[in-house]
Each structure stands twice: as C-alpha cells, then as structure tokens.
Structure 1
Amino acid sequence: MHPHHDAVKTWDHARRHLVLMLALTFTTGIVDAVGYLGLDRVFTANMTGNVVILGMGLAGADDLPVLGPALALVGFLVGAALGGRVLRTAPAGWSDRTSGTFAATGVLAILLGVGALVAPPEEGSLWALTVTTVLALAMGLQAASARRLAVKDVTTVVVTSTLTGLAADSRLAGGAGDGWARRSLAVLLILVGAAVGALLLRASGDQGVGVGMLVAGVLAVAVAVLGHRHREA
C-alpha cells in the first residue's frame, strides 16, 4: 500500500480512538457521580479519590464509609487484572479482544442499571455493596483496556495526570502547548459527565442509580460497537 495511504489510515484510527476514549471519559463522570452520590460516597472509577476516602474512613473521619471503598478498590484491581490478562497477547491497536473488554464494561453497567431500577440499592445493604464492587470491576476492565489502547493523555478514568500535562506543557510554563485540546476535552467531559450523573440522580430519585448506570452502559456498548466496526487488527 502507498505510504501516504498508510499514514492517513493510521491518523484516522488515532483520531477515532481519541474520540471513543473521550466518550468513555464522559461515561466515567456519570458512573463516579452515581457511585459517590447514590452508593454511599464511593468512587468506582477514580481510585485516587476512592483510596483517599478509604484512608479518611479508616481514621473514623466524618462518618465516611470503609467497606464500600475497600470493595470498590478490590473490584477495580480484579477488573484491571482481567483486562490485562485478556489483552496481554492481543494485537496492537483495536482488536477483537479490545471490543470484547469494552463491551463487557458496558454490559456489566447495563445489567447493574437494570438491577438497580428493579431494586434500588440502599446504602450499606448487601445489594448496594455488590453493585459497588461489580461496577468498580467493570471500570477496572475499562481502564486496563484504555491503557492497552494507549491514547495519549486519555486514560478514561482519571484526569489528574492530564491536568498536570496541560499545565506543565503549556506556553505559560514555557512549553509548546501540544495536546491542549485533547487534554482540555478530557477534563471537560469528565466534569460534564459528573454533572449529568448528578442531574440524573436528582431527576430520577430512587431510580437515579439505575438510570445513571444504564445511560453509561449503553454509551460504553456504543463505543465498543463503533470501535469494533472500524478496528485495525
């Protein structure tokens, strides 16, 4: 194939991957808002926040939960390990296995969403803790898949490193300001996602947790389908 065509194709894939990972960053905002506000102050995707809450909870501060954040941490690690295992021998780029792991994240979120609509999880109940753990497992799987795809500056689950890059490489800091658009978008989308998650909770009351997970799950499955349709491998 002509080198120019190869370059165009590679650029197309890179741009598509970026858009899809930014979409997942938005769904992460929804999931974390739903988890924090509806599942007793637990982050199921942002493990930095979750570990900090766990630390404060262990110190007995402000009646913060311990079991929920601890289970979310374990679930996230199990999900990330599963993702790493499945994708270890997968071809580079977006492969059939990548589609499978991203789809699994979406399907898990949809199933939990349906379950939470049928039986809204009450804080501290066994069902709420189960939802928390499985949702964190799904987000760990997503994080490992995004890491394997390696879209620069877009991990889909955290924006601290993205913000650091945005500021440290900015013109203000004497840098070239490269990648400012994708970094800004990643931060904006997780922020908007969190706002959407909070609004869904407010609008739907007891059903809010289920609705939020359902919306995030459907979007994640859509990302998996679009990525699969245009996969390279």
Structure 2
Amino acid sequence: MPKRDKIPALHAQWETVMMIVATFATGIIDAVGYLGFDKIFTANMTGNVIVLGMGLAGNDELPVMGPLIALAAFFIGALLCGRLLRNAEGGWSRPVRRFFLVEAIILLCAGLILLRVRLEPDSSVLYIFTFIVACVLGGQASAARKVGVKDVTTVVVTSTITGLASDSRMAGGAGQRSARKIAAVASIIAGATVGGLLHRIVGDGWGVIATALVLFAMLAADAVMTARG
C-alpha cells in the first residue's frame, strides 16, 4: 500500500486510540461520582435514570436531586458542545482537541478544589460539583459523537457490548471491530477500578485530578503524533 494511502487509515486508528483513552478517563470519573458524589453518575446517564427512578420510588438511601442535576447538566454540556462544534469538520479536528483541553483544565481545577472541600449528601457544594463534572462529560459525549469512532461513545458501553455480541461469529456475523469493542469495555472497567482505588486510598479529589491528567496525557501524545506528521 502506498504511503499516501496509509495516512487516512493511520488517522482513523489514532482517533480510535484517543477515544479509548477518553473512555478510560470516563471510568475513573464515573467511579468517583458514584462512590464520592452520593451515588451520582456524571457520565453514565442510563445509570442516573435508574438511580433516579429508584429514589423516586421512596428508597431513602438513594438520591433524587443529584441525579436530576447530573441529567440536566449533561444535557446542557452536550447541547453547548454540539453548538460549538456544529460547523467543525468530522474526526479528531482542532476544535475537538480544544474542547478536550478545556475539559481537562476544568476537571483539574475541580479536583484541586475538591482536595480542600468535603462533599456532604444533599449539600449545595455536592450539587455544584455534580453540575460542573456532568456538564463537561456531556460535552465530551458530544465531542466524541463528532469524532465519529463507531462503537466508542466514551461515556457508555451498553451499545458496544450489544454490537460485540450481535456482530460476533457466534451470532453469524463477521466479528467486525471486535478488538475496538473489547478495548472500549476493558478501558472503562480499568478506569472504574482506578477510580475506585483512588476513592478508597487517597480521596475523590485525586480521582478527578487523575481524570484530568489522563486527558492531558492524551492531548500531549496527540501533539507529538501531529508534530511527527
């Protein structure tokens, strides 16, 4: 294959790598959110809907306001990012890179503040942090949609697992993109494991900071790859 023909394929592979890394970061922040933000998911909105429903059913140990705030913030973040990227070209474009940089900066600042703040259930501080984190994760989901890596949304893996099973050879399919799907599922599990460990050992602030550092590392690697052409 001529070198010029390899370039689009390499770009597509690199976009997939970036989205897998972002999925790993999502695993960290969602674990921190559930364990440290009073059972609130800041990325997995399906989980929030379930928690909200059980809370509305009168299960006192489950929150209602937190999931509602997370849902609203996620929607707002996705809306704003979708608006900002409306005219951007598809794929791993410069506007998408800029969004991920802004996301990393916001999460880093939130994590540093969280090191000095104690989150109490049903507190205004908890709800503020929930709104901020869920908002940027909604933006991330919108940005990932713009990148358009099939089967990797960065914030959920339900559809990825469905595709992995239904497209598999056991189901009569060709097993297309199986490696990518497995990597997406594995990355969010690994991220959640890291987030759970950070919550238990050093606290939630460091979990949020770790999420930001993963995104910074992703962008740094991308800058090196871009410089090399």
TM-score tier (shorter)? over 0.9
Corresponding residue to 2:155 among 144, 154, 157: 157
Equivalent in 66, 69, 75 of residue 68 of structure 1: 66
1:115 equivalent in alignment to 2:105 = no
Tell me the residue number matched to 2:207: 212
Instruction: Name the counterpart of 2:13.
Output: 15
Q: Distance in 1 between matches of 2:91 and 2:166?
A: 28
Tell me whether 1:179 sits opposite 2:177 in the alignment.
yes
Residue equivalent to 1:139: 137
Partner Cα distance (2:14, 2:173) in 1: 27
- Cα distance 1:176–1:210, how it changes in 2: closer, same or farther (>3 A)? same
SS at match of 1:137: helix
Q: Which amino acid aligns with 2:217?
A: A
Please report the TM-score for the alignment, with normalisation by the length of structure 1: 0.93
Q: What percentage of residue pairs aligned between the two structures are identical?
A: 46
- Give the C-alpha shift of residue 62 in structure 1: 4.6
CA distance in 1, matches of 2:90, 2:3: 19
Compute the TM-score of the two structures, normalised by the length of structure 2: 0.94
RMSD, aligned α-carbons:
1.6
- Give 1:38's match in structure 2, choosing from 31, 36, 60: 36
1:223 aligns with 2:221: no
Cα deviation, 1:156-213, whole Å, max 9, x if unaligned, reads 0000000000000011101111111110111111011111101111111xxx110000
* Partner SS state of residue 123, structure 1: coil
The unaligned stretches of length 5 or more in structure 1 are none
CA contact (8 A) 1:50 1:69 kept: yes
Corresponding residue of 1:84: 82
Aligned residue type for 1:21: M
Alpha-carbon distance in structure 2 between the residues aligned to 1:228 and 1:99: 10
CA distance in structure 2 between the partners assigned to 1:141 and 1:36 by the alignment: 19
Return the offset for 1:134. Answer: 0.4
Unaligned runs of 5+ in 2: none
Asked if the contact 1:120/1:210 (under 8 Å) is kept, the reply is no
Between 100-109 and 128-137, report the one with greater CA deviation. 100-109
